[in-house]
């Protein structure tokens, strides 16, 4: 299966009638891919961050570092997801 961006690019070259719409779609896809990559990086950081508790559930000396990395990653993710904006997803998410 060919890449959708390649299909859109060839459609833009083929005819000017839908060129503007196709260019907008191509920009949106590229933006979404950048967002996906940024969210993947955040997930990698979170997955590689060792939990700051020992087997008994007591905090270790890594707690401050963990807290800093976790808060930064979650803040970045919230920004990428647009949680500060109203959308159908953010309006319907469960309250915790």
Over the stretch 6-52, which tens digit does the pLDDT of each residue have? 777 777 776 665 777 778 888 888 898 999 999 999 999 888 887 88
Over the stretch 41-80, which tens digit does the pLDDT of each residue have? 999 988 888 788 888 888 888 888 888 888 999 899 888 8
Name the more confident of 20 and 87: 20
Contact indicator for 66, 50 with CB cutoff of 8 Å: yes
What pTM, to 2 d.p., does this model score? Answer: 0.61
């Amino acid at each position: 299966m060919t890449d959708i961006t390649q299909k859109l690019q060839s459609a833009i070259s083929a005819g000017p009638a839908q060129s503007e719409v196709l260019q907008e779609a191509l920009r949106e896809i590229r933006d979404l891919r950048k967002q996906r990559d940024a969210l993947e990086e955040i997930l990698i950081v979170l997955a590689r961050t060792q939990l700051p508790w020992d087997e008994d559930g007591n905090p270790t000396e890594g707690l401050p570092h963990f807290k800093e990395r976790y808060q930064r990653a979650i803040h970045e993710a919230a920004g990428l997801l647009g949680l500060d904006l109203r959308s159908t997803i953010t309006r319907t998410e469960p309250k915790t």
